[in-house]
Structure 1
C-alpha cells in the first residue's frame, strides 16, 4: 500500500503537471472545449507512460503493457454516441471481447442502463483493461472453467446516488496479493479515487479477484436511463 505521504506527493505532482499543461494550452489559444478535452487526455497519457515504465521489468513488458493500455483508451471513442456519451454495458463487453472473454460464455454482465461522460469512461476503460489483463495473466480467466461477473447497481446515499460496480471472478485458483504495487493497483486504488472520487476494495479470494468500486454518481459521471425511456427508444409507445 502507498503511504499517506507518498500519495499526497503523487497527487501534488499530478496537479502540478495539469497546471503546466493548462498554461501551455492557454498560450496556444485553443478553444475552451478542445483545450479541456486535450488536457484531460494528455494528463492521462502521461500518467500511463510514467507508471507503466515504473512497474515494467524490461522493455518488452513495458511496450506490451503500454500498447494494451493505450488501445483501451482508443476504443472508448468508437463507442461514443451522438450525445458524446458511452454505454457502460458496451464499455465492459468491448473490453472483455478484446481478451476473448465473451458475454454468456465466460462473462456475465448485468446492471441498469448507464451512459457515461467521456472522462470517467476513459478512467473506467483503463480499470476494466487492468482487471481483464490480470484475470488472463494471473486470475480465473487464465483457466478454461474461469468466469467473471461484472455487475453494477445504484445505491442510495445521503450525499447522493452511488454507482456500485463489482468485478467478481470465479472458477480460478487462490491468488495472493502481489509482492510489489504495479500500475493496475495504483490505478484502481489511487487514480480512480483522484479522478472519480471512487472507493475501491480489492480482495484476493480462493478462486479469483474481487474488485468493488463505489463511485459517486454525479452529473459529471453520467446518467441513468430510466426503463420507460429505454422502452421508448426501442420503438415502444410513449
Structure 2
C-alpha cells in the first residue's frame, strides 16, 4: 500500500510540473512551431508517465525504467531542436550505446538513410529503448554471444504516394525466449502507441534463440523521408 501511495505521489508531482510548463508556454511569446513541438513532447511525456505507473510492478522498477524512457525522449528532442529531424540509423545506434551495445560488435545495422520527424522519432526511440532494455534484462544481451541485427527497407517508392518502411529487429544467441506473461510498458509501446500514432503494424515472434520484431508503417511526410547520401529528397515531402 505504501509503495502504491508513493508512486501516486510521484506521478501527481510530475503531472503538476507538466501543467505548470503548459501554462508557461501559453503565457509567453513562444513561437508557434516551437510551442507545437513542445506540446507534442509533453503529450508524449504524459503518456509515458501514466503508462509507466500503470504497468510498474514496484516503485523501484517504476523509477528505474522511467528514467531511461524519459532520457530516450529527451535525446530525440535535443536532436530535433538542433537539426529538425533525426537519422534513423543514428537513433538506433545511440539507443543501443546507452545499453553499452556497440555496432560492429553485438549489433549490426543496415538500411537506407531515413530522416524522421520529431514525433515519429520519439516513438521509434521509445520502441528501440524497450527492445534494447528487454534484450539486456531478459534476452540475448544478457548472454555471451548474443547479438541483434536491425535492418530496414523502404518499398513502394512512388511519386504519387508514400513508401512503406519495414524495420526488423532480429535477435540471435539467446535461449528459451518466451512471450511475456503480462502486458508491460514495452508491449504497449509496440502494440498500441506505434499503431495509434504511426499506423504501424507490429509482428512479434519469440524464436528459440531470440525475439524477432517487425515494424511496418507508411513513410508519409509527417513521419519522415528517405534521403540520398548528399541529403537530397528521394521520398516524402520536405517541410
TM-score (norm 2): 0.81
Note if contact 1:173-1:206 (Cα within 8 Å) is conserved in structure 2.
Answer: yes
Give the Cα–Cα distance (whole angstroms) in 2 for the partners of residues 79 and 146 of structure 1.
Answer: 30
Query: 1:1-238 alignment to 2 at 5 Å?
Result: 28=27, 30-80=30-80, 83-156=83-156, 160-227=162-229, 229=230
The alignment yields a C-alpha RMSD, in angstroms, of 2.4
Aligned length: 210
Give the Cα–Cα distance (whole angstroms) in 2 for the partners of residues 208 and 195 of structure 1.
Answer: 27
Runs of 5+ in structure 1 lacking a partner? 1-19, 232-238
Give 1:174 shift: 2.3
Give the Cα–Cα distance (whole angstroms) in 2 for the partners of residues 43 and 83 of structure 1.
Answer: 21
Using the TM superposition, name which of 171-180 and 88-97 deviates more. 171-180
Give 1:157 shift: 8.0
Give the Cα–Cα distance (whole angstroms) in 1 for the partners of residues 80 and 40 of structure 2.
Answer: 17
Give the Cα–Cα distance (whole angstroms) in 1 for the partners of residues 144 and 25 of structure 2.
Answer: 52
Note if contact 1:25-1:35 (Cα within 8 Å) is conserved in structure 2.
Answer: no
Using the TM superposition, name which of 94-103 and 149-158 deviates more. 149-158
Runs of 5+ in structure 2 lacking a partner? 1-18, 233-239
Give 1:78 shift: 4.3
TM-score (norm 1): 0.81
Cα gap change, 1:195 to 1:24, in 2 (>3 Å): farther
Q: Residue 174 of structure 1 aligns to a residue in which SS?
A: coil
